[in-house]
């Protein structure tokens, strides 16, 4: 059974600071997804990581994937208030075809002045 764990689950950080959210998963996979959810809103796709060593960046967010360590990170650089949201990682179980993605519980990020 694939398990996905995110940490921390809650994160309060000051504007301008850097921080990293971690996503660990329990079985082999080379496809990982990051989503963002604003309060009361739906989830939107941030990054799709498709291979070991993949790195994607957009603005102040950078995601990476280490399939050997079964770990993905979402790094926040010089946080701003607009980044306040809940971030989810989701893992695809290999290329088995029909198995749904497994989501982590989410990391609620609050950026304060």
Q: Which is nearer to other proteins, 100 or 113 (CB)?
A: 100
Quote the CA–CA distance of 104 and 113 in Å, as a whole number.
28
**C-alpha distance from residue 35 to each of 7, 16, 113 (Å):** 15, 22, 24
Q: Which is nearer to other proteins, 13 or 43 (CB)?
A: 43
CB of 64 to other proteins, least distance (A): 17
* Chain residues that interact with other proteins, rule: CB under 8 A: 31, 33, 35, 41-45, 48, 50, 88, 90, 92, 95-98, 100-101, 103-106
CB of 78 to other proteins, least distance (A): 27
Q: Which is nearer to other proteins, 10 or 20 (CB)?
A: 10
Instruction: At 83, give phi and psi (nearest 5°).
Output: -85, -5
Q: Name the pairing type of β-strands 85-92 and 10-14.
A: unpaired
């Amino acid at each position: 059974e694939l398990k996905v764990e995110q940490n921390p689950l809650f994160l309060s950080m000051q504007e301008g600071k850097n921080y990293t959210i971690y996503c660990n998963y329990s079985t082999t996979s080379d496809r990982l997804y990051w989503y963002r959810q604003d309060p009361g809103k739906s989830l939107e796709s941030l990054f799709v990581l498709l291979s070991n060593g993949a790195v994607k960046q957009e603005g102040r967010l950078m995601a990476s994937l280490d399939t050997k360590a079964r770990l993905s990170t979402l790094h926040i650089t010089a946080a701003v208030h607009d980044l306040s949201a809940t971030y989810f990682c989701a893992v695809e179980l290999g290329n088995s075809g029909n198995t749904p993605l497994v989501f982590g519980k989410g990391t609620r990020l609050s950026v304060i002045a």
